[in-house]
């Protein structure tokens, strides 16, 4: 009887490897904060494993799945979210200063990453003689009322 139990445990242990189906587990989560320059853009990676292999998707806080935004944002099949370099006039708060989450799912479940807050900052490309001083206000900047004193 004892050898039968030991044999059964060995078989169960051997089957518990790669062949056993299970829900996704993160291998790499996005960072809590992604700060980047509009002149360079940025990438955020997300990876998970499970059996069967999970699908990776990026989503907004309300759960809506992200799509590509031509010239500004790409969602790659490998789980990478790409923020492309952009000009100041192309800035969009809903893309460049918002929260994203990574979601991995397969037939056995789904997991959602921690929030990743993005913040795109303008590149300092000023030149002149004398050298200009550039002061950046935190975004979103507060508008001053005419009757308000500084």
Q: Mean pLDDT of successive 10-residue segments in the chain (150 residues)?
A: 44 54 97 97 98 97 95 97 96 97 98 98 70 53 45
Closest alpha carbon to 117 in 142, 131, 100: 100
Tokens for 51, please give them. 């059996």
Tokens for 9, please give them. 């445990």
Is the pTM higher than 0.85? The answer reads no
| Cα 37 from Cα 116, distance rounded (Å) | 16
pLDDT digits (tens, 9 = 90+) for 8-38: 434 444 444 457 999 999 999 999 999 999 9
| Cα 84 from Cα 73, distance rounded (Å) | 6
> Domain segments of the chain: what residues?
20-119
In CATH terms, the superfamily for domain 20-119 is Immunoglobulins (2.60.40.10)
pLDDT of amino acid 144: 44
Q: Which residues is 99 bridged to in the sheet?
A: 117
């Amino acid at each position: 009887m004892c050898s039968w139990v030991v044999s059964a445990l060995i078989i169960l242990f051997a089957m518990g490897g790669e062949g056993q189906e299970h829900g996704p587990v993160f291998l790499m989560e996005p960072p809590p904060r992604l700060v980047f320059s509009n002149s360079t853009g940025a990438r955020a990676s997300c990876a998970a494993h499970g059996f069967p292999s999970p699908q990776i998707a990026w989503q907004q806080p309300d759960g809506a799945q992200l799509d590509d935004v031509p010239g500004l944002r790409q969602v790659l099949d490998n789980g990478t979210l790409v923020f492309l370099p952009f000009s100041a006039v192309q800035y969009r708060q809903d893309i460049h200063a918002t929260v994203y989450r990574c979601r991995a799912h397969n037939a056995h479940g789904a997991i959602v990453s921690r929030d990743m807050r993005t913040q795109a900052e303008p590149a300092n490309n000023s030149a002149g003689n004398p050298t200009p001083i550039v002061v950046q206000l935190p975004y979103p900047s507060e508008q001053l009322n005419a009757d308000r004193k500084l």
